[in-house]
């Protein structure tokens, strides 16, 4: 699997091991608790719910690697999704148009973020917080209340399997492949350089501002892909759908061993981190935790996982403040 090969990149190895260990633990616990975990139906529906978070986690990884953070990714997912679902209007022949619209919206949102962060030089955490207002407000303009419909063919194919492999799993592998290709492109090398040390990158003639813009544009691209997955999974539009994805994407990135400081890590870990996060929710559900305690257990497990993900860093030199 591409995912596994990816995390053996130099410098990511330690955290990669921790992430894989967490994933294995989550899968073991989950399969023990969920009686039909390995059945085709459960696997398919599990993977179907993973894809949006996986996609947005890859996008967040690229932005974080460049030394930024994008708190508007969830709002971008929402805006792309409602734009696409409005154009779709339940008609299969409009699918290419809707996909193009979603991608266009994602790229445009990413470009706006990139311009704001790289050219206006605003601090990413507050700047993307501000743009998230713009995006979620526009989403409400496009689709004021949950609605719209996706052709039944799309949702059926999304939950289908090809030669026994769920389509959703193929989508995750596709995202991993896309990352793998990007990773080998000059743009991503520049992203690593800029995130690691902007001054050194600038001195080495790396186009710092352009690289930062491109990182946010790529983030927007993956947000659009997440939006398409959301639509295929839920079958309808919702102007609030992306709200919870933003912070989960950051958690997935950290669980995957990418340093929030930028320059170190990779999306392979984030993909696994996203799956771990989704599995934890599953586990808490199937562990018969009383409803009112579910979220507490979920939150506590995630904090523990975040602490574990940080342990390899502990063994190294403590980070300079």
Partner 1 sequence: MSAPTVEAPRRVLSWRPGPVALAGAIAVALVIAGELVSPGFAGYGQLVNLMRVAAFLGVIAIGQTIVIIAGGGGVDLSVGKVATFAAIIGSRVMAGDDGDLVPAVALALAVAAAIGLVNGLGVTLLRIPPFVMTLGMIGVVQGLILAYTGGQASGRAAPALTSLVNGRLIFDLPGLLFLWAALGLLAVWLLRRTTFGWNLFAVGANRTAAELSGVRADRTLIVAYVLSATFAGLGGILLLGYTESVFLDLADQYMLPSVAAVVIGGTMLAGGIGGYAGTAVGAIVLTVLQGLLTTLDIGGAGRTVVNGVVLLVLLSLYGRQRRLRS
Residue 313 within binding range of partner 1, rule CB under 8 A: yes
DSSP string over 87-107: HHTT-GGGHHHHHHHHHHHHH
- Read off the tokens for 2: 């591409």
Which of 130, 167, 221, 287 is the binder for partner 1 (CB under 8 A)? 130
* CB of 10 or CB of 291, closer to partner 1: 291
State the CB neighbour count (10 A cutoff) for residue 228. 26
Mark 224-263 with x for binding to partner 1 (rule: CB under 8 A) and - for no binding: -----------------------x--xx--x-----xx--
List of residues 6+ apart from 289 with CB closer than 8 A: 297
Subset of residues 22 to 51 that bind partner 1, contact rule: CB under 8 A: none
* CB of 30 or CB of 131, closer to partner 1: 131
To which residue do tokens 């392979």 refer?
268
Residue 228's closest CA among 55, 69, 64? 55
Count Cβ atoms within 10 A of the Cβ of residue 14 and give its class: 0-12 exposed, 13-18 middle, 19 or more buried. Answer: middle
The least distance separating partner 1 from the CB of residue 300, rounded to whole angstroms, comes to 6
Q: What does the chain come to in residues?
A: 321
The least distance separating partner 1 from the CB of residue 202, rounded to whole angstroms, comes to 5
Residue 123 within binding range of partner 1, rule CB under 8 A: yes
Contact positions vs partner 1 (CB under 8 A): 69, 71, 116, 120-123, 125-127, 129-138, 140-141, 144, 198-199, 202, 208, 247, 250-251, 254, 260-261, 291-300, 302-303, 306-307, 310, 313-314, 318-321
């Amino acid at each position: 699997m591409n995912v596994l090969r990816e995390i053996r990149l130099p410098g990511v190895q330690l955290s990669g091991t921790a992430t894989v260990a967490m994933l294995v633990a989550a899968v073991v616990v989950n399969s023990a608790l969920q009686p039909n975990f390995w059945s085709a139906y459960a696997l398919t529906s599990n993977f179907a719910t993973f894809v949006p978070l996986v996609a947005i986690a890859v996008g967040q990884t690229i932005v974080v690697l460049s030394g930024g953070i994008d708190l508007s990714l969830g709002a971008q997912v929402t805006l792309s999704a409602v734009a696409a679902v409005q154009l779709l209007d339940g008609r299969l022949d409009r699918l290419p148009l809707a996909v193009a619209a979603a991608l266009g919206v994602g790229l445009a949102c990413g470009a706006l973020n990139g311009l704001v962060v790289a050219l206006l030089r605003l601090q990413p955490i507050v700047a993307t917080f501000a743009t998230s207002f713009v995006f979620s407000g526009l989403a409400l303009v496009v689709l004021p209340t949950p609605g719209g419909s996706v052709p039944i063919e799309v949702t059926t194919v999304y939950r289908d399997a090809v030669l026994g492999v769920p389509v959703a799993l193929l989508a995750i592998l596709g995202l991993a492949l896309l990352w793998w290709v990007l990773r080998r492109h000059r743009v991503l090398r520049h992203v690593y350089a800029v995130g690691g040390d902007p001054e050194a990158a600038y001195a080495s003639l790396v186009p710092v501002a352009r690289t930062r813009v491109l990182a946010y544009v790529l983030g927007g691209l993956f947000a659009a892909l997440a939006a398409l997955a959301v639509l295929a999974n839920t079958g309808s539009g919702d102007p609030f759908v992306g709200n919870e994805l933003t912070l989960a994407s950051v958690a997935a990135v950290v669980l995957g061993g990418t340093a929030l400081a930028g320059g170190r890590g990779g999306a392979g870990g984030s993909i696994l981190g996203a799956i771990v996060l989704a599995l934890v929710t599953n586990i808490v559900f199937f562990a018969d935790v009383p409803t009112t305690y579910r979220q507490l257990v979920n939150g506590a497990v995630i904090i523990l996982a975040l602490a574990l993900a940080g342990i390899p860093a502990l063994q190294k030199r403590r980070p300079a403040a």
